[in-house]
Amino acid sequence: MTELLSYGFMQNALMAAVLVSLASGIIGTLVVLKRMVFISGGVAHTAYGGVGLAFYLGINPIFGAVAFSLMASFLMGYVQRKTRQRQDTLIGVMWAIGMAIGIIFADLTPGYKADLMSYLFGSILAVTNTDLLLMLAVDILVISLVALFYKELQATAFDETFARVRNLPVDLLYVILVAMIGLSVVMLMRVVGLIMIIALLTVPAAIGAMYLKNMKHIMWLATGLSLIFTIGGLLISYYFNLSSGATIILVSGVFYLGALALHRFCRRCPE
């Protein structure tokens, strides 16, 4: 283990695991409580359009992903709040368009594009110092916003109608939340890939919500679980020469199924 930690790429991977776990635990809890899982998946896949465009323009794909994910977040949020369009229809359309744009621009980009696969399926072992700085910046922003609007976010998460009655800025809070989802998607993209982001963002929080009712406690538990899943999956993938992103998601999925079975068993137990 000591020898393993001597490698620079493994040190970066472990730091990335800690940083993404913070965002995953905090934002994932809000996503699960507000039932915005499908939006998260839509934003993640739409972001691939930005990755493909960035490759075509010869700029850092992260910037393209940030632009597309924020654009998708705000558009999906606006349509849900202000129009009568079915939300699932819009998300499905944007999901497909984003992926199609990414693929088309990738086809138009000359040369070999092996790096594109790392954005689809993740490559935590390839995380750079620049990626870590971006993750740290997103964590600071997410923690600051959630700390500042915690009571308001809690009210809208559990009862939006009550929040409106109390004259809370529900629409503004929604915009803030979808923006944080968009930024978190870009973070998680480097770890598990756009295709599997939805799992790491929601599984730890979903497990926490099974056993806890306090939102702050769910966030703490989800953060800890996300860290266990990420580091556990990373180590398993390293020792067995497996894809890191897929292994992380498989570990989280196994834990979720186990937690679900235990929860149902406990509910059936006599008092």
Distance of alpha carbon 205 from alpha carbon 181, whole angstroms: 14
State yes or no: pLDDT of 218 exceeds 80. Answer: yes
State yes or no: pLDDT of 209 exceeds 90. Answer: yes
Q: What is the pLDDT of residue 243?
A: 86
Q: What is the pLDDT of residue 263?
A: 83
Confidence of residue 83 (pLDDT cuts 50, 70, 90): low
Look at 112 and 101; give whichever has higher pLDDT.
101
Q: What is the pLDDT of residue 271?
A: 52
State yes or no: pLDDT of 217 exceeds 70. Answer: yes
Long-range contacts of 237-242 (CB under 8 A, 24+ apart): 238/4, 238/10, 238/125
pLDDT digits (tens, 9 = 90+) for 139-180: 999 999 999 999 999 988 888 788 888 888 888 888 888 889
- What is the pTM for the complete model shown? 0.88
Mean pLDDT in residue range 41-55: 87
Longest dimension (CA), the chain: 66
Q: What is the pLDDT of residue 196?
A: 79
Confidence of residue 257 (pLDDT cuts 50, 70, 90): very high
User: Domain-by-domain residue ranges, the chain?
Assistant: 2-268
Q: Which of 11-25, 150-164, 180-194 tops mean pLDDT?
A: 11-25
Distance of alpha carbon 132 from alpha carbon 261, whole angstroms: 36
Q: What is the pLDDT of residue 220?
A: 95
pLDDT digits (tens, 9 = 90+) for 102-136: 889 988 888 766 567 777 777 788 888 888 898 89
Q: What is the pLDDT of residue 81?
A: 65
Q: What is the pLDDT of residue 124?
A: 83
Q: What is the pLDDT of residue 144?
A: 95
Sequence-distant (6+) residues with CB within 8 A of 200 are 20, 24, 28, 188, 191, 192, 226, 229, 230, 248, 249, 252
Q: What is the pLDDT of residue 236?
A: 92
**Integer CA distances (angstroms), 210 to 90, 206, 213, 258, in order:** 30, 6, 8, 12
CATH 3.40.50.920 fits 2-268, yes or no: no
* Three-state SS at 49: helix
Mean pLDDT in residue range 187-191: 82
pLDDT digits (tens, 9 = 90+) for 88-100: 777 788 888 888 9
Q: What is the pLDDT of residue 143?
A: 94
